[in-house]
Amino acid sequence: MATKKAKRKPAKAAAKKSAKKSVKKTKAKSKPKSKPVSAAPRSGGKSVAGAATAGLPRPSTKPWGKAGRALDGVRILDFTHVQSGPTCTQLLAYMGADCIKVERPGVGDITRGQLRDVKGADSLYFTMLNGNKRSITIDSKHPKGREILDRLIKHCDVLVENFAPGALDRMGLTWEHINKLNPRMIVASVKGFGPGSYEDCKVYENVAQCAGGAASTTGFREGPPLVTGAQIGDSGTGLHLALGIVTALYQRMRTGRGQRVLCAMQDGVLNLTRVKLRDQQRLAHGPLAEFSQYGEGVPFGKAVPRAGNDSGGGQPGWILKCKGWETDPDAYIYFITQAPVWGAICDLIGKPEWKTEPDYATPPARLPRLKHIFATIEAWTMTISKFEVMKICNEHDIPVGPILSMKEIAEEQSLRDTGTVVEVDHPTRGKYLTVGNPVKMSDSITEVKRSPLLGEHTEEILGKVLGYSAKEIAEIKASGAITPPEKPAKAEAA
């Protein structure tokens, strides 16, 4: 998709040319032309499958995983930094997009130096969010730097940014300017809040969790709101933005033009917390019976309460101690008392009579007694390890989940085998672990590559992507547009 402008062909023309070739090969001249992929199937008309094949190439005969990656040909102009934006662009790069990360000369993404654990090397904060990318350094305030940015806009498909509100406009890169240079470009942004009274506020991970409804519903009933360790505000919103981008790319195949894509962090968190908005509406019609406070006779207020480790899906659950909990802070397991396997649970914990006793035989009867039920189950789980509990329960289809520490996850061989946890070699910090592509595709295989050094690909991009000659690149370097300003010489001591 990101070819030189002169070589780009309109989507309709390409589809027409492909259709002509297909007609010629099959000699089916009498067949009517297929409708474009954008045409919606009508009642009694062509099937969805038939409409979807119009204008597409023949199925590849190459072996699975050898026909290129999903986003090959898509070029990303990456203005992102810290976490939300880089999460998005790294995922697109994993899918095959050519991701060009624009950084300030001599400085780069601020996370290169944040939480640094190896002196003189890029931090894990940076390396784990910027794999599979290329880095170019550009001074956006330098006239020549602006010229390079404009040329990059013409050669890229998507611009992604997560600057503070208005920052991109202040750089002169307004939507109108970008759209005039490249009408096909998609401009994708992460912001803290959507349009409204809070849109100019700066937002970070925990702020988003609080504003999106996650914190007010996380924690124990008697305690304060809590934020979660999962980065649902930053990384969660980045994943939402990646979906918006690939959807916009697909729509562009039909319309031929780009568009703006916005993901607000508050919106992203709320989307991941939607079950609590569900419960807020249910609360108007009575207490939430699956919450443990219902069984304990504690009245509900006007808003969805914090519910500790209660399951949010209607099946009672709780975190229970396992053998070794006294010294191991993660010797716990999440245990769900799912109704269809209640009989098996009763047998395992030595309470077969509960299968028929009126106070325990049915889910409604068990609700007021959940505290006692889980205490009884815990008396059993404390006698064996969390992995033994999992093995035994899985044999009976009882849903449980061991609390895995980050150390256990880092050492879990199955995650290495699937490419979820990947060891990468870096020229300055050595080997490190990163999270690979969480999306596994049978015909688009991800090869996880290390993060780039600051400005590592500057000359390569100037020459091979933007078409500058060696002489022009030398002049650009001499101008200071891609290099850090020289530090003034120290005055010699008298």
Angle in degrees, CA 262, 264, 267, rounded to 5: 120
Q: Which of 78, 109, 234, 279 is catalytic?
A: 234
- In the numeric block, the tokens 């190439």 are attached to 57
| 234 tagged catalytic | yes
| DSSP E strand boundaries for 71-146 | 75-79, 98-103, 133-137
Secondary structure (DSSP) of 194-261: -SSTTTTS---HHHHHHHTTSGGGSS-TTS-----SS-TTHHHHHHHHHHHHHHHHHHHHHH----EE
Q: Which H or E element spans position 180? A: helix 175-181
Write down the residue that tokens 């009575």 correspond to: 286
Burial code of 69-91, b = ≥16 C-beta within 10 A, e = fewer? bbbeebbbbbbbbbbbbbbbbbb
| Nearest partner of 97 among 74, 70, 123, 126, judged by Cα | 74
- For CA atoms 53, 56, 58, 63, give the dihedral sign: negative
Return all residues near 332 (Cβ < 8 A) that are at least 6 apart. Answer: 319, 320, 321, 322, 325, 386, 402, 403
Distance (Å, whole) CA 1 – CA 176: 22
Active site residues per annotation: 234
